[in-house]
Chains A and B, each alone.
Chain A
Amino acid sequence: MLPIGSAAPDFRLHSTPDQQYSLQDFSGKNLILAFYPADWSPVCGDQMTLYNEMLQLFRKQNAAIVGISVDSKWCHQAYMQSRNLHFPLLADFEPKGAIAKAYESYDDQEGQSLRSLYVLDADGIVRWNYLSPVSVNPGADGILDALGKINAKK
């Protein structure tokens, strides 16, 4: 995991075939990066469903969230529609896992992202990170605590 205080590496990734996101698109906002192994696997499903329910709580903390996995933009599109998700899932697809590697969240053996969380502040600085066991949904208590601390310092 990248240490607290480091500048978050840039990215530009597809969310759907028609839409791309980069780090700059979120400047001025806190940003939660949720790296996860794969669309459709059950634990991630619960994790992404949970975050989907929390969008309003995140917004209150001036935060946006994106999920990132090595699945393709087409896969993400189908998954987002199926689960009715209202936040972007980014396709770290080509070169595969490049962004997960830049964020030190890649599992070379499995060829997929680890399950990890980053909270960046409005200037793109890493303010909190967490590496979860792959099979455990890490929830969001750590994210909310981190956002609370960032917003309290202002």
Chain B
Amino acid sequence: MSKLKPPIGKQDHIRGHANAPVSLVEYGDFQCPHCGEAYPIIEDIVRELGHDLRFVYRHFPLATAHPLALSAAIASEAAARQRKFWPMHHKIFENQALLSVEALWEFGTIIGLDMEQFEKDINDRALEEKVEEDFESGVRSGVNGTPTFFINEIRYNGSHDRDSIMAALQK
């Protein structure tokens, strides 16, 4: 049984109530098609469960397979410095087929980032380190591909359709 290491904490991007009875953690890659397919399903679940769910997204870019995965992850971390991680996360997954370096800049403008600050931040090595830390935590937690989900910090091995995930969350 693979357990989430480290547990959900201050370093994470968290949606939902801190005392929610159930937590769902996704290790994802912004350019991974399977993550793209999971995105609307997860959004649907997050909306439906509302305060009963805490949702966390951690980075697991498979950069040699997906050349834009790392840039996208860093862009989302740069957006996070302006408290806009989730708007960037949504934009990227909603436009995954159009992903490019230029598109990341456009998304930044659309979600209302201070683009001068954004440019400074994406060149800050600390953001890449944050992404690498997520990746290493994923490997240590038993992530072997993307997306990988953890429910209440235990790896979920079921299928990625809505009903299966929902059933596991409501167990």
Q: Which residues of A are interface residues toward B (Cβ below 8 A)?
A: 46-47, 49-50, 52-54, 57, 83-86, 137-141, 144-145
B109 CB, nearest partner CB in chain A, Å: 30
B62 within 8 A of A: yes
Give 13 new A-B contacts, CB below 8 A, not counting A46-B145, A137-B144, A141-B141: A47-B144, A50-B145, A53-B62, A53-B63, A53-B64, A53-B135, A83-B65, A84-B64, A137-B145, A139-B142, A139-B144, A141-B142, A145-B140
Separation in Å of the A41 CB from the closest CB of chain B? 14
A140 lies within 8 A of B135 (CB): no
- B65-A140 in contact (CB<8A): no
Which residues of chain B from 109 to 152 have a CB within 8 Å of any chain A CB? 135-136, 139-145
A73 vs B136: C-alpha distance in the bound complex, in angstroms?
31
Rounded to whole Å, the gap between the CB of A66 and the closest CB of chain B is 17
B82 at the interface (CB under 8 A from A): no
> Chain A residues with Cβ under 8 A from B145's Cβ?
46, 50, 137
A52 to B135, CA, bound (A): 13
- CB atoms of B62 and A50 under 8 A apart: yes
B interface, over-half SS: loop
Is residue B95 within 8 Å, beta carbon to beta carbon, of the partner chain?
A: no
Near A by CB (< 8 A), chain B positions 140-171 give 140-145
The complex places the Cα of A125 from the Cα of B64 at a distance, in Å, of: 32
Q: Are the CB atoms of A139 and B139 closer together than 8 Å?
A: yes
Residues of A within 8 A of B141 (CB): 141
Q: Is the interface of A mostly helix, strand, loop or mixed?
A: helix
Say whether B143 contacts A139, CB under 8 Å. yes
A141 touching B2, Cβ below 8 Å: yes
Complex Cα–Cα for A149 and B31 (A)? 34
* 27 A-B pairs (CB sep. < 8 Å): A46-B145, A47-B144, A49-B62, A49-B64, A49-B65, A50-B139, A50-B145, A52-B64, A53-B61, A53-B62, A53-B135, A54-B139, A57-B136, A57-B139, A83-B64, A83-B65, A85-B64, A86-B64, A137-B144, A137-B145, A138-B144, A139-B139, A139-B144, A140-B144, A141-B2, A141-B141, A144-B139
B144→A46 contact, CB < 8 A: yes
| Contact A141 B140, beta carbon cutoff 8 Å | yes
Which of A49, A86, A138 gathers most chain B CB within 10 Å? Answer: A49
B28 to chain A, nearest CB (A): 14
- B64: chain A residues within 8 A (beta carbon): 49, 52-53, 83-86
Closest residue to B144 on the A side, CB-wise? A139
Q: How far is the CA of A54 from the CA of B61 in the complex (A)?
A: 11
- Binary contact track B48-71/A, C-beta < 8 Å → 1, others 0: 000000000000011111000000
CB distance from A82 to the nearest CB of B (A): 11
Contact call A141/B139, Cβ cutoff below 8 A = yes
A125 to B39, CA, bound (A): 45
CA distance A18 to B169 in the complex (A): 52
